[in-house]
Structure 1
Amino acid sequence: MKTELSAVEAKYEAQKIAFGPMYFQSVIALRDLGILQFINSNRKGVSIGTIIEELPVSEYAVNLLLEAAEILGVVEIEEGVIKISKIGFFLLKDEMTRVNMNFMNDVCYLGAKSMTESFVKGKPEGLKVLGDWPTIYEGLSILPEPAKTSWFDFDHYYSDNAFPNALKIVFKKNPKMLFDIGGNTGKWSFACCRHDSQVAIKILDLPVQLNVAKANAAEKGLLERIDFHPIDLLDTEQKIPQGADVIWMSQFLDCFSEEQIVQILENACQAASEDTTLFILEPFFDNQNYPAAHYSLVATSLYFTIMANGNSKMYRIGVMKELVCRAGFDVVEIYPLIGDSYHTILECRKRA
């Protein structure tokens, strides 16, 4: 976008914001009714009449949705021939776009109207559309569908791509005991077990999440190698145990406010020895190569406001480094944008 807009251009951009929710839902309908897929399958173009004949969708619906799609640049219409555009192709086929759209539609959309109230109260007031929990984390394992599937698809998409390169970094000194803080469903712990047949794992998380991780571990035959430690890290009386060669936090600290992050890292610091390495994996929004990633991560902060806990966000890398230092660690190495992911790893050691 140009830095200097005319009044007419600025007014148009303002209308994009004003009607944004309507246009978003029009694309969801275009996709879910099969119209976008049908257009894509006819690369030479297709007429409105053919769409109406071939799909169980009314002429009224097809006309309105295509009018919206043309405005958005999702389709191109010339002399009655409709073709999918590059934007439409990415909406239909790109994994990042699919995951983000489903997350916004299934998890965040209905709760978004409570954003102002969430900021005022410092609580995720939009969460009530999904369930009665103080934060979304207590309800993850019992979220209603399709929100549950879309939440985990979103979470795993933004972490799993980092695992192959992260494993090489974390296991470069052959740790024997790894603590997976906020282990969620256990995917990172299972990847560690596949990577190193000797490593022992302890997953630390809320009891409701440990139940899911334990069931998944049992299914994979890994119960002998993985221990499960229930803990609420917002309770200052509950301490992380000692004995870890590696303490791992993957997309975990962005679930907390700055003061809570310092509290959690201080807890990790008391558990760490001089030989313990703390690894923090985060998608810092100011450390991205592409504007689409930056845009998506800033929007994700607003999800934390309305749906997750009301006080956390995606962070700048400089802010996280400062919080790490406040808690008694030094950042000894930075691995930026590892592999094909959006993540940076901070390697930290307890300050002597």
Structure 2
Amino acid sequence: MKKEMSAIEAKYEAQKIAFGPMFFQSVIALRDLGILDFINSHRKGVSIDTIVEKLDVSEYGVHLLIEAAEVLGVVEVVADKVKITKTGFFLLKDEMTRINVNFMNDVCYLGAKSMTESIKKGKPEGLKVLGDWPTIYEGLSILPEPAKKSWFDFDHYYSDGAFPEALKIVFKNRPKTIFDIGGNTGKWSFACCAHDPDVRIKILDLPVQLKVAKQNATEKGLLERIDFHAIDLLNTEQKIPQGADVIWMSQFLDCFSKEEIVQILKNAWQAASPETTLYILEPFFDNQNFPAAQYSLVATSLYFTIMANGNSKMYSIKVMKELVAQAGFEVVNTYPLIGDSYHSVLECRKTIEA
């Protein structure tokens, strides 16, 4: 049975929330000023005087940040020596943590204050700190740095790890033509071309994204095998063309509301033949092995609210299957947490009239 939290403990947890933004930025400063890395290089500990002497940071600044880091459990101070903790090590060296920190700091932090207005209006009111677009997707290729790099690092990290196993699933029946819906920079399409020398790909996305994908395909010499189809899937007049053996959606549907997801899937339904297979790759927040993964995915939903489009989120696997059914597809196979990833694949077939 879970121990009931005391009033004192609850009050402490509340203060963590109250001062959370300040402590987050203190860790950014520790990292960017080189203090955390310097402490990590001295495994037996290092004095604050040595940190001040070796780094171009004032004694005041070092003391301030070390005190914050000690409260957070990022460092510990023993006998006047500062040592990095396991938490500090992960903040400094763990790839997932580094990518998440950069994404929050460079993409989301300044816009987060617009959370209330974003929820009230159903629009990403925080996005204006990066640019003047209705959603972040129109501006991805021209985001200011470092937001652009941090956004793509985040997106690719949470999809690329799933690709090796996903390729085995998608190519088990040797499809000849794959439609990559919301193909973004083209990474999945390029992986398909490398996996099967005979497959043909059509990337469907917004024109601004296709420009980037086409440039990348040109550099890789893949223009003879990859076609490009400009489409705004929120426009009901624009239809996905027919002719695909496989329709692939990778970390795509979480960019839309439930109503929009059904609309997009119905568009896929009209394009699909009875032999077409629809694959949906998503990191479902209720289908994770570790608390850190679920925590990160729920936080990502908040990013969608304030920065991306104001109405989408990370979904549970149960909800996604319900939306698939509403659009006239049946989930015929579920591949949970494939490979070394946080993703599951839903394999779907067209069934009833949508």
**Normalising by structure 2, what TM-score?**
0.99
Summarize the alignment of residues 182-331 of structure 1 with structure 2, pairs less than 5 Å apart.
Answer: 182-331=182-331
Summarize the alignment of residues 158-173 of structure 1 with structure 2, pairs less than 5 Å apart.
Answer: 158-173=158-173
Summarize the alignment of residues 82-161 of structure 1 with structure 2, pairs less than 5 Å apart.
Answer: 82-161=82-161
The reply on whether 1:341 has 2:345 as its aligned counterpart is no
| Cα deviation, residue 3, structure 1 | 4.8
* Residue equivalent to 1:179: 179
Identity fraction in percent = 82
Q: Residue 340 of structure 2: SS of its match in structure 1?
A: coil
Cα deviation code 1:289-309 (max 9, x no counterpart): 000000000000000000000
Give the residue type in structure 2 aligned to 1:153.
D
* Residue equivalent to 2:29: 29
Cα deviation code 1:254-313 (max 9, x no counterpart): 000000000000000000001000000000000000000000000000000000000000
CA distance in 1, matches of 2:64, 2:3: 33
Give the residue type in structure 2 aligned to 1:287.
N
- Structure 1 segments, 4+ long, off by >4 Å, are none
Give the residue type in structure 1 aligned to 2:225.
R
Give the residue type in structure 1 aligned to 2:183.
G
CA distance in 2, matches of 1:61, 1:189: 48
* Residue equivalent to 2:67: 67
Alignment gaps of 5+ in structure 1: none
Cα deviation code 1:47-74 (max 9, x no counterpart): 0010011101110110000000000000
CA distance in 1, matches of 2:76, 2:306: 36
Cα deviation code 1:72-123 (max 9, x no counterpart): 0000101101110000000000000000000000000000000000000000
CA distance in 2, matches of 1:203, 1:214: 9
| Cα deviation, residue 4, structure 1 | 1.3
* Residue equivalent to 2:77: 77
CA distance in 1, matches of 2:223, 2:3: 57
CA distance in 2, matches of 1:18, 1:3: 24
Cα deviation code 1:214-269 (max 9, x no counterpart): 00000000001000000000000000000000000000000000000000000000
Q: Residue 123 of structure 1: SS of its match in structure 2?
A: coil
Q: Residue 279 of structure 1: SS of its match in structure 2?
A: strand
Cα RMSD of the aligned pairs, angstroms, is 0.8
Cα deviation code 1:123-166 (max 9, x no counterpart): 00000000000000000000000000000000000000000000
Cα deviation code 1:17-55 (max 9, x no counterpart): 000000000000000000000000111110001001110
Give the residue type in structure 1 aligned to 2:86.
K
Q: Residue 289 of structure 2: SS of its match in structure 1?
A: coil
Give the residue type in structure 2 aligned to 1:226.
I
Give the residue type in structure 2 aligned to 1:338.
I
Q: Residue 77 of structure 2: SS of its match in structure 1?
A: strand
| Cα deviation, residue 186, structure 1 | 0.2
CA distance in 1, matches of 2:204, 2:52: 54
CA distance in 1, matches of 2:41, 2:277: 51
Q: Residue 14 of structure 1: SS of its match in structure 2?
A: helix
Give the residue type in structure 2 aligned to 1:195.
H
Give the residue type in structure 2 aligned to 1:172.
K
CA distance in 2, matches of 1:351, 1:168: 24
Q: Residue 297 of structure 2: SS of its match in structure 1?
A: helix
CA distance in 1, matches of 2:48, 2:266: 62
Q: Residue 228 of structure 1: SS of its match in structure 2?
A: strand
CA distance in 2, matches of 1:3, 1:241: 57
**Normalising by structure 1, what TM-score?**
0.99
Give the residue type in structure 2 aligned to 1:262.
V
Q: Residue 77 of structure 1: SS of its match in structure 2?
A: strand
Q: Residue 334 of structure 1: SS of its match in structure 2?
A: strand
Q: Residue 284 of structure 2: SS of its match in structure 1?
A: coil
